[in-house]
Amino acid sequence: MAATSEAIELTVAQEQIAGTLLAPQKRMPGILFVHGWGGSQTRDMTRGRGIAGLGCVCLTFDLRGHERTLLQKQTVTREHNLQDILVAYDRLAQYPSTDPERIAVIGTSYGGYLAAILTTLRPVRWLAMRVPALYWDDQWEVPKQQLDRQQLMRYRQTLLGPLDNRALGACADFLGDVLIVESEYDEHVPHSTIMNYRSAFRRAHSMTHRIIDGADHGLSDERCQSAYTTILTNWISEMIIGDRIGHLS
């Protein structure tokens, strides 16, 4: 466990000698996982257990319209799911062991899109996005399931900037560290969408972009799942360790 340090002085026989008091950090970084459309928290739980071992508080959850609330899939909107994420974020930030100033959000596909928007509503220090999807701003409160898929694919192949899209606008204002993970053979999120996101992060502290060779959108191959876990864990480790060194300097 990392420690905080405080320079102190000790008095011995009326003389001052220098010392350093080291104490465990009282609070740990928080990690919020947001799964994609049609997914669940299952994969996130596996990765969360590994990342929690780095000294983090991790929270996974199921968006409405999934798992136990699957009956809502035909009616749930982007607004509903954004509210789900806000509630989950607040629960994580309020957990006694969480440092609310050091929260990472890890979103996949639809979850990555909503995670980007979340950064305008709550403080986010680190943002990881795997195959982040993109949706037009219109029809925000139309059920997600009713959005025209073919039109969405055409939209995702269009050159777009921060002024064209709410999520990209959020990326343009984000000041933290970013990880984008792309699948080489993604059938839902084309390379053009990834580049729209990457280009939007104009003010980010750092930007890491990785491509998983041979991967499809859902990482159906176990080798690709393992590759993503390695990329994500290494990046989180780098961010957390670097942040702790900064706290000690």
Task: Give a yes or no: residue 19 inside a domain.
Answer: no
Where residue 214 falls (left for φ over 0; alpha for ψ -120 to 50; beta otherwise) is: left
pLDDT in tens, 203-239: 999 999 999 999 999 999 999 999 999 999 999 999 9
Indicate which CATH number applies to the domain containing 237. 3.40.50.1820
pTM score, whole prediction: 0.88
Task: Give a yes or no: residue 4 inside a domain.
Answer: no
Q: From CA 103, how far away is CA 113, in angstroms rounded?
A: 17
Task: Give a yes or no: residue 5 inside a domain.
Answer: no
Residue type, 141: E
Where residue 13 falls (left for φ over 0; alpha for ψ -120 to 50; beta otherwise) is: left
Q: From CA 136, how far away is CA 82, in angstroms rounded?
A: 15
Provide the domain limits for residue 110. 27-248
Stated as kind and residue range, the H or E segment containing 5 is strand 3-12
Task: Give a yes or no: residue 6 inside a domain.
Answer: no
pLDDT in the model for residue 194: 98
DSSP per-residue string spanning 150-201: HHHHHHHTS---TTT-HHHHHHHH--SEEEEEEETT-SSS-HHHHHHHHHH-
Task: Give a yes or no: residue 94 inside a domain.
Answer: yes
pLDDT in tens, 82-133: 999 999 999 999 998 899 999 999 999 999 999 999 999 999 999 999 999 9
pLDDT in the model for residue 248: 44
Band of residue 244 on the pLDDT scale cut at 50, 70, 90:
low
Residue type, 50: G
Task: Give a yes or no: residue 155 inside a domain.
Answer: yes
Task: Give a yes or no: residue 17 inside a domain.
Answer: no
Q: From CA 225, how far away is CA 134, in angstroms rounded?
A: 22
Task: Give a yes or no: residue 10 inside a domain.
Answer: no
The structural domain count of the chain equals 1
